[in-house]
Amino acid sequence: MSPKAASTATGPLAPSNPETKEDTALWSLKHVQVLWSWAAKPSKPKYPPISSIPPTPASRLLEADAVPATGEPFPTEPILTKNAHHGPSKSNTVLYLAYGSNMCAKTFLGMRGIRPLSQLNVSAPSLDLTFDLPGLPYREPCFANTTLRKLPEPPKLPPKVPDLPDLPDPPKMPPFSSPTGNTRKPINWTKGLIGVVYEVTAEDYAKIITTEGGGSSYHDILVPCFPLSVTIGVPEKPDIPIPPRPFLARTLYAPRLPAVPDHPPSSQDGDDECPKPEPPSWLKKLLLPVRRPSPDYAQPSSRYLGLLTAGAAEHDLPQDYQAYLQSLQPYTATTCLQKIGQMVFLGFWAPLFITVMLGGRMFSDEMGKAPKWVVVGTTVLFNLVWVSYDHIAKPIFGEGERTVEKEETETHRKREWWWGSWGTEEERRVLLA
């Protein structure tokens, strides 16, 4: 190739020593494209994909820690792990039920650094998925939790119906008119909890407890689970369906405690003994886990819901359950004041949260549980966060738990701001909507 031809090359063999202005521009553009491609190229994750985790063998589900002791009936509801009776187990691993962000590889394998030995999609019909675990207002209003599933009572036999009288003439129906507005309703899931059971080592399970708060909000429980088959396709010769055999898996559950009364009941039993002094109600509330007035009011953030939907897709959970997760409404800040509240809350409370979390990880024991003083400090910190939100931040910045339409918020702000009741009226309007 002649020097002149080399100087006018436009392909990947562009000249390294440009001679003309056109060559200089081409040379600069080529290097900018290369640098841009390197910057835009997504970095390879430092954790293995979900597909690399093998399925849990059936023999592991028959170990002593996955079934009740000999002679005891299989439980129909979750039980505390410390109250369970098992025989000697040959396995040193733990069957852990994940139902929230831990279903996602980015969180479970990446951020927490867990390396599961096996996995299995399951159904836990005794539990329901909820989002009643309080987080940080304006940023992460709530997190996933579980609650006991409420089954409807069997219908009672109706009384004997007397003979019916003659039916009157049917009324005239008005002309049909098409409905207006948005008539789509959110998906109502009534089939229990769907999740993933990971087989992890005892060390990794301790790490899970540590990264979930060191036992400050959760209780370790055993949950009856039923294996789910992966939807690969319809075989030419399907096997005869066999009812799945249940087994027990451990998970973390945060119970919803009853509200503390503002005035403790006075003892009128007539005893002559002096009653023991009780701490004031405000101190009891400060030392108990955060309890919001309505457990179904707060909405999770878009980031958190994205982890749940991504984890459900990675594990190929049932399509109707994935559709249910995708139909959930995330919390979105729709006003400038709400976005300012995000920055103020995160800037003020984040350093304290980081300090408490680091203390929990540094002083946790071999089981992953934090010491008592860390648990109490975390509980008090969360209560102070939500007290400051209810009495200071919400009247100033607006709603930090649930998405409110922007037009509605601005109209109400102009009407009620100077009367000092904006926060109360806003909450009442959202609850009655």
**pLDDT digit string, tens, across residues 401-412:** 999 876 555 554
Query: Per the annotation, does 136 bind a ligand?
Result: no
Query: Per the annotation, does 97 bind a ligand?
Result: yes
User: Higher confidence at residue 363 or residue 398?
Assistant: 398
Model confidence band, residue 181 (pLDDT cutoffs 50, 70, 90): very low
pLDDT tens, 135-151?
A: 999 999 999 999 998 76
Evaluate if residue 331 carries a pLDDT over 90: yes
The domain locations on the chain are 3-33, 50-150+188-230+243-259+296-327, 332-432
Q: How confident is the model at residue 56, as a pLDDT?
A: 94
User: Percent of the chain at pLDDT above 70?
Assistant: 65
Among the four given CATH numbers 3.40.50.10490, 3.10.490.10, 3.50.50.60, 3.40.50.2000, the one describing domain 50-150+188-230+243-259+296-327: 3.10.490.10
Strand duo 118-124 + 247-253: pairing: unpaired
CB 291 within 8 A of CB 257: yes
Query: Per the annotation, does 157 bind a ligand?
Result: no
Q: How confident is the model at residue 19, as a pLDDT?
A: 57
Q: How confident is the model at residue 418, as a pLDDT?
A: 42
For residue 422, give Cα distances in angstroms to 305, 409, 432. Answer: 29, 10, 15
Q: How confident is the model at residue 410, as a pLDDT?
A: 53
User: Higher confidence at residue 303 or residue 418?
Assistant: 303
Tokens of 56: 């849990």
Evaluate if residue 307 carries a pLDDT over 60: yes
pTM above 0.85, yes or no: no
Q: How confident is the model at residue 350, as a pLDDT?
A: 85
Residue 2 to residue 64: CA distance in whole angstroms = 80
Overall average pLDDT of the 117-144 stretch: 93
Model confidence band, residue 176 (pLDDT cutoffs 50, 70, 90): very low
Residues in contact with 128: Cβ distance below 8 Å, sequence separation at least 6, in sequence order = 146, 147, 148, 149, 150, 192, 193
Q: How confident is the model at residue 87, as a pLDDT?
A: 62
User: Higher confidence at residue 196 or residue 46?
Assistant: 196
Query: Per the annotation, does 100 bind a ligand?
Result: yes
Residue 32 to residue 38: CA distance in whole angstroms = 10
Q: Is the C-alpha dihedral spanning 388, 390, 395, 396 positive or negative?
A: positive
Q: How confident is the model at residue 219, as a pLDDT?
A: 86
pLDDT tens, 69-97?
A: 777 888 888 888 887 776 666 778 999 99
Residue 376 to residue 385: CA distance in whole angstroms = 14
Model confidence band, residue 226 (pLDDT cutoffs 50, 70, 90): very high
Burial class (CB in 10 A: 0-12, 13-18, 19+), 199: buried
User: Higher confidence at residue 364 or residue 125?
Assistant: 125
CB 101 within 8 A of CB 308: yes
Question: Annotated catalytic sites, by residue?
Answer: 212
Evaluate if residue 217 carries a pLDDT over 90: no
What region does 52 belong to: left with phi over 0, alpha with psi -120 to 50, or beta? Answer: alpha
Q: How confident is the model at residue 300, as a pLDDT?
A: 95
Query: Per the annotation, does 98 bind a ligand?
Result: yes
Average pLDDT of the chain, as a whole number = 77
Model confidence band, residue 183 (pLDDT cutoffs 50, 70, 90): very low
Q: Is the C-alpha dihedral spanning 326, 256, 213, 349 positive or negative?
A: positive
Evaluate if residue 313 carries a pLDDT over 50: yes
Q: How confident is the model at residue 283, as a pLDDT?
A: 75
Q: How confident is the model at residue 178, as a pLDDT?
A: 43
Max distance between CA atoms of the chain, in angstroms, equals 114
Closest CA to 125 of 189, 73, 173, 199: 189
